[in-house]
Amino acid sequence: MNASQRPIVVGVDGSRDARSAAGWAAEQARDRGRPLILVHCLTWPFEGVSTSGTDTAAGPHSGAESLLRTMADELGAILPRDRIDWRVEQGDPVAALCADSATAEVVVVGARGVGGVAGLLIGSTATALVSAARCPVVVLPDDSTVVVSERHSVVVGVECRGRDEEVLDFAFTEAAARGTDLVAVHAWQDAALGPGIRTVGPLVDWATVAADEQRILAEAIAGWREKQPDVGVREVVVRGRTAPSLVAAAMTAELLVVGRPPHGPIGRLGSATHGVLHRAGCPVAVVPVGD
């Protein structure tokens, strides 16, 4: 599939979070000239296979079809209706959306669906999806957790461990498309400097260490500054844990971009990415790295 034809796919289930995710996805599709596909999954046993957006025959999928048709018509106020398609799938939503991720530009979901458990900021579907998808996944938070009058900037977490290229590519592209600046955040901790540092902490020249971390961050994004000269970049180096540092930096951001490290079993996330997903008050894009 031509890269310019890759769709934005959004998982919907009728929940408020899913409707917010669909609206957000429609705006992205409009601004980037992409098609939008709404996907709803029926998770209880039914006979038959998935139906397309052009099949209106009555049957066990009719309620879901009606939901998606209505949503598509509503989203037509944002995106031309002929660029919106939808389908109903039977089975696990994670499996269906992961299959879509092989050819999608991005997959978008709400933090919690209809069956979400009160008190949890992100549901099992979103967690499993970001762990296994082959393209970036954007998770929209509950819009009641943080209310910001005006959001700006894209914030990106930079590890500076030689595996930031995919993450920086996505973040710079998003900032350019949105016409906003990029905030590159690198967090470091004493423990990362070596096992002996803790015992001689007072004797360490922390100003020099911090300067080294600043240099490392500057080197990590130098090439991207040249590739995207129109994107203003602010560099932030924080002595602290990664997830809280990123969440704080992105409190008023339009988007927070983090990487998903290479992994083995499905469902395993890096601790920082997991922490960000459960705490961020803005949309979070999780970019697969090195898969």
pLDDT (0 to 100) of residue 286: 96
pLDDT digits (tens, 9 = 90+) for 85-114: 999 998 899 999 999 999 999 999 998 655
Backbone angles phi, psi at 120, to 5 degrees: -95, 130
- Structural domain for 43, as ranges: 3-140
SS3 category, 237:
strand
With a cut of 80, say whether residue 247 has pLDDT above it. Answer: yes
pLDDT (0 to 100) of residue 199: 41
Same domain, yes or no, for 134 and 7?
yes
DSSP 8-state symbol, 60: T
With a cut of 80, say whether residue 196 has pLDDT above it. Answer: no
Question: Look-up: residue for tokens 């992105």?
Answer: 250
Reading the block at residue 272, the tokens are 């920082």
CATH number at residue 78: 3.40.50.12370
Reading the block at residue 288, the tokens are 């697969």
In a domain, 149, yes or no: no
Same domain, yes or no, for 136 and 66?
yes
Backbone angles phi, psi at 135, to 5 degrees: -130, 170
**With bands split at pLDDT 50, 70 and 90, how would you rate the model's confidence at 129?**
very high
C-alpha span between 137 and 102 (Å, rounded): 12
Domain total for the chain? 2
Same domain, yes or no, for 97 and 173?
no
Same domain, yes or no, for 134 and 255?
no
Same domain, yes or no, for 107 and 173?
no
**Of the residues 91, 112, 140, the one at which a domain ends:** 140
In a domain, 146, yes or no: no
DSSP 8-state symbol, 32: H
Same domain, yes or no, for 48 and 130?
yes
Region 238-251 average pLDDT: 95
Reading the block at residue 13, the tokens are 């289930």
In a domain, 145, yes or no: no
Same domain, yes or no, for 213 and 240?
yes
Question: Look-up: residue for tokens 């949105």?
Answer: 178
With a cut of 80, say whether residue 279 has pLDDT above it. Answer: yes
Same domain, yes or no, for 40 and 123?
yes
**With bands split at pLDDT 50, 70 and 90, how would you rate the model's confidence at 262?**
low
Distance of alpha carbon 70 from the chain centroid? 26
Distance of alpha carbon 23 from the chain centroid? 15
CATH number at residue 255: 3.40.50.620
pLDDT digits (tens, 9 = 90+) for 74-88: 999 999 999 999 999
Same domain, yes or no, for 265 and 169?
yes
**Model pTM?**
0.86
With a cut of 80, say whether residue 169 has pLDDT above it. Answer: yes
Quote the Cα angle for 226-221-224, to 5°: 30
In a domain, 51, yes or no: yes
With a cut of 80, say whether residue 230 has pLDDT above it. Answer: yes
pLDDT digits (tens, 9 = 90+) for 11-42: 998 888 899 999 999 999 999 999 999 999 98
Question: Look-up: residue for tokens 């990029």?
Answer: 182
pLDDT (0 to 100) of residue 51: 46
For the chain, the helix, strand and coil percentages under 3-state DSSP, each to the nearest 5: 40, 20, 40
In a domain, 147, yes or no: no
In a domain, 221, yes or no: yes
Reading the block at residue 245, the tokens are 């540092």
Same domain, yes or no, for 246 and 284?
yes
In a domain, 261, yes or no: yes
Reading the block at residue 89, the tokens are 């799938």
pLDDT (0 to 100) of residue 117: 40
Same domain, yes or no, for 204 and 243?
yes
